[in-house]
């Protein structure tokens, strides 16, 4: 059995990790770490675990965090892990980080998008970018994983095949919609029910970090330099994410040819499904699952192309992809513990 620790266990992504790992036949959770709820039963924090988990949340001690475990999942706000992570920890436990601190950025870019100096940027070289469907070979032999962000995951899965084949312009506009859980469990004015309900609003229009992450990942996987105009929005849902990507094809083409490109890259990828023509993606059809649904519309008159992708931001955009990466690293079936039919109602 793989012995796992969860740091940030009482956040939304942490809760999803624990829920998924409870169904994993090869993993045993031995550390449930939460500074906010130390010494409380986990089922006190999340009462859906009543009668299932008797775990007690432990306080955080970086000196002993790697003791007794094989893998450490970290799910912390930006800038927290980079303050304390060090070579000793990385030498003694596999880290799968759901946070942003080690995702492709250099120190200057991190400061630009997060407004603070990165204290351990040199450790980034020990992390492999964990977009499961596109980096499987590297993930299989990785030391540590930097799990992609939710918007970055949806954007890349939607666009990478077309960019890789050079059949679309790399000047792309992306409209993103994300549920309130994407902002984390800590309440702010912007995510307060009274403020967010019955309203849709854009945020971080020019400096959302998933924009730079997606751009750098495109170069990482394709060698191309994409330019994104990215406008994310908060919508009053609990979970779910949809991106609409606007671009143009570089040559005259048709629906069947574009579909053949997606099938070339995703035909054997069970968690990425291309919907039938005229069947539009909806967040409800991927809810509570590790699935990504993609479809597109092509206007053959002017070569304009709109690509849509929907994921569950907490699963494919966070915890589910982390478990998928764990499975790849250990030679397990990729769908182990995450092969759930979406819950649409």
Distances (CA, A) of 169 to 5, 110, 199, 225, 274: 43, 27, 33, 10, 21
Name the 3-class secondary structure at 222. Answer: helix
Contact present, 342 and 292 (Cβ < 8 Å)? no
What's the pLDDT tens digit per position in 8-35? Answer: 999 999 999 999 999 999 999 999 999 8
- Residue 51 structure tokens: 């009668």
Q: What is the pLDDT of residue 190?
A: 78
| Pairing label, strands 144-146, 127-129 | parallel
The secondary structure element, H or E, covering residue 14 is: helix 12-21
* Active site positions, annotated: 150
Q: What is the mean pLDDT of residues 40-67?
A: 95
What's the pLDDT tens digit per position in 85-99? Answer: 999 999 999 999 999
In this predicted structure, the answer to whether residue 263 has a pLDDT above a threshold of 80 is yes
What's the pLDDT tens digit per position in 65-83? Answer: 999 999 999 999 888 999 9
Distances (CA, A) of 10 to 16, 45, 61, 69, 84: 9, 7, 16, 19, 19
Q: What is the pLDDT of residue 114?
A: 84
Mean pLDDT for all residues in the chain: 95
In this predicted structure, the answer to whether residue 307 has a pLDDT above a threshold of 80 is yes
Q: What is the mean pLDDT of residues 288-293?
A: 98
In this predicted structure, the answer to whether residue 215 has a pLDDT above a threshold of 90 is yes
Contact present, 153 and 317 (Cβ < 8 Å)? yes
């Amino acid at each position: 059995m793989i012995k796992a620790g969860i740091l940030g266990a009482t956040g939304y992504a942490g809760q999803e990790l624990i829920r998924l790992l409870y169904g994993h036949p090869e993993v045993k959770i031995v550390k449930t770490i939460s500074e906010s709820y130390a010494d409380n039963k986990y089922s006190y924090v999340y009462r859906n675990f009543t009668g299932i988990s008797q775990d007690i949340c432990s306080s955080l001690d970086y000196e002993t965090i790697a003791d007794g475990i094989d893998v450490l999942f970290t799910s912390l706000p930006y800038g927290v892990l980079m303050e304390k992570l060090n070579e000793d920890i990385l030498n003694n436990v596999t880290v799968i980080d759901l946070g942003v601190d080690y995702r492709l950025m250099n120190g200057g870019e991190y400061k630009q998008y997060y407004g603070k100096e990165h204290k351990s940027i040199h450790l980034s070289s020990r992390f492999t970018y964990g977009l499961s469907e596109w980096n499987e070979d590297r993930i299989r032999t990785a030391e540590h994983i930097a799990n992609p962000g939710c918007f970055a995951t949806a954007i890349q899965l939607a666009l990478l095949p077309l960019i890789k084949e050079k059949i679309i312009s790399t000047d792309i506009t992306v409209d993103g919609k994300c549920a309130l859980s994407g902002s984390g469990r800590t309440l702010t004015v912007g995510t307060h029910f009274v403020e967010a309900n019955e309203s849709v609003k854009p945020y971080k229009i020019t400096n959302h970090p998933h924009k730079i992450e997606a751009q750098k990942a495109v170069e990482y996987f394709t060698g191309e330099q994409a330019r994104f105009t990215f406008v994310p929005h908060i919508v009053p849902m609990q979970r779910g994410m949809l991106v609409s990507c606007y671009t143009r094809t570089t040559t005259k083409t048709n629906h069947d040819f574009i579909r053949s490109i997606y099938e070339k890259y995703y035909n054997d990828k069970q968690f990425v499904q291309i919907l039938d023509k005229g069947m539009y993606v909806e967040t409800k059809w991927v809810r509570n699952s590790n699935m990504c649904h993609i479809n597109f519309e092509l206007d053959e008159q002017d070569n304009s192309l709109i690509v849509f992708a929907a994921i569950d931001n907490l699963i494919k955009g966070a915890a589910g992809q982390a478990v998928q990466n764990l499975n790849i690293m250990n030679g397990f079936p990729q769908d182990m513990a995450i092969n759930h039919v979406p819950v649409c109602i």
